Amino acid sequence: MELIYKRAALEDIDLLTETRIEVLRAANRLDADTDMSLVESESREYYQRALADGSHTAYLVFDGGLFVGAGAVSYYTVMPTYHNPTGQNAYIMNMYTRPEYRRKGIAMKTLELLVQDARGRGVRRISLDATDMGRPMYEAYGFVPMPCEMELPEQ
């Protein structure tokens, strides 16, 4: 196994978009025939904009020439608070490892690269949504549940 961790660039948009759809299908338990065309086109536009303006960092992982994993972090700003005086936030997302490559440290290394990127920008607040499968790894890294966050469901 010869793993290469590559910071994604604009020329990687096809692979990033393809991976995003794969992650969403898996996380939401969607069938292969579920129409994802709108999400796909919006994701492609997002990557074009966010990679260009620096509001998104993604890493792609390869074993030789074979794509085996990915992870990303999106940056956004909210009003400053006492605990986050800059208002800068990082949201880790799109973590993925091919099933046959899981439990080999790939996701943990990718997570470390993303956290380093955020910390290097001075971001103090880093959050994510965890699947049941990913939760133990995030907890081992030091992430904790957020008891106060709420969401208004779509009506």
pLDDT tens per residue across span 77-104 = 999 999 999 999 999 999 999 999 999 9
Strand order, beta sheet including 88-97: 3-7, 56-63, 66-77, 88-97, 125-128
H-helix or E-strand spanning residue 46: helix 37-53
Strand-pair category, 88-97 with 66-77: antiparallel
Range 3-141: architecture per CATH: 3-Layer(aba) Sandwich (3.40)
pTM: 0.92
- Give the length of the chain: 155
How much of the chain, in percent, has pLDDT values that exceed 70?
100
pLDDT tens per residue across span 15-41 = 999 999 988 998 889 999 999 999 999
